[in-house]
Amino acid sequence: MKILEYLKYLLIGTAFGFILVKSEVVSWFRIQEMFRFDSFHMYGIIGLAVVVGIISIQIIKKKNIKDTKGNPITIPPKDASQWKRYIIGGSMFGLGWALLGACPGPMFALLGSGITVMIIPILSAVAGTYVYGMLRDSLPH
């Protein structure tokens, strides 16, 4: 890939991070409000994201949209027999989100907005991903 192609993704990511910060989706206080059921703000944003995702997937399937390289986009069905792993993984993700006050994507937006303490969870996430990669073959999938 040429540097200009990477620049496009950097600009899109920066714009997305700006939107996350301005909509207060990355605000620790908003996240705590959500987990305490004190505010509808985050539920509204998450619900809107789910609706946009559903509509987008349906458009991709009906219009046979291709990726940037011209390959058809295929979305395989979920394996229903793996429900335990989805429940356990989702619970771990939610617990980490509630304890940290940020999910993985917004951690970078928070760091970019000057919350330097986010370096620790980012490095921890990288270390956890590395350890998972090392152990992946020995884990049940």
Closest CA to 105 of 45, 16, 3: 16
Cβ neighbors of 14 (< 8 A, separation 6 or more) are 112
Arithmetic mean of pLDDT, 20-49: 87
Phi/psi for 5 (5° steps) reads: -70, -40
**Predicted confidence band at 55 (pLDDT cuts at 50, 70, 90)?**
very high
pLDDT above 70: residue 30: yes
| pTM, full prediction | 0.65
Residue-wise pLDDT for 86-115, tens only, equals 899 889 888 888 788 777 778 888 888 888
Query: DSSP labels for the chain?
Result: --HHHHHHHHHHHHHHHHHHHHTTTT-HHHHHHHHTT--SHHHHHHHHHHHHHHHHHHHHHHHT-B-TTSPBP--PPP-GGGHHHHHHHHHHHHHHHHHHS--HHHHHHHHHTT-GGGHHHHHHHHHHHHHHHHHGGGS--
Arithmetic mean of pLDDT, 73-82: 85
Please report the pLDDT score of residue 74 as a whole number. Answer: 87
**Predicted confidence band at 51 (pLDDT cuts at 50, 70, 90)?**
very high
- Structure-model confidence comparison of residues 58 and 97, the more confident one: 58
Distance between CA 41 and CA 31 in Å, rounded? Answer: 9
Please report the pLDDT score of residue 59 as a whole number. Answer: 94
CA distance to 20, 24, 29, 32, per residue, from 38 (Å):
20, 15, 11, 8
Distance between CA 6 and CA 95 in Å, rounded? Answer: 33
Q: Any idea which of 5-9, 36-40, 99-103 has the lowest mean pLDDT?
A: 99-103
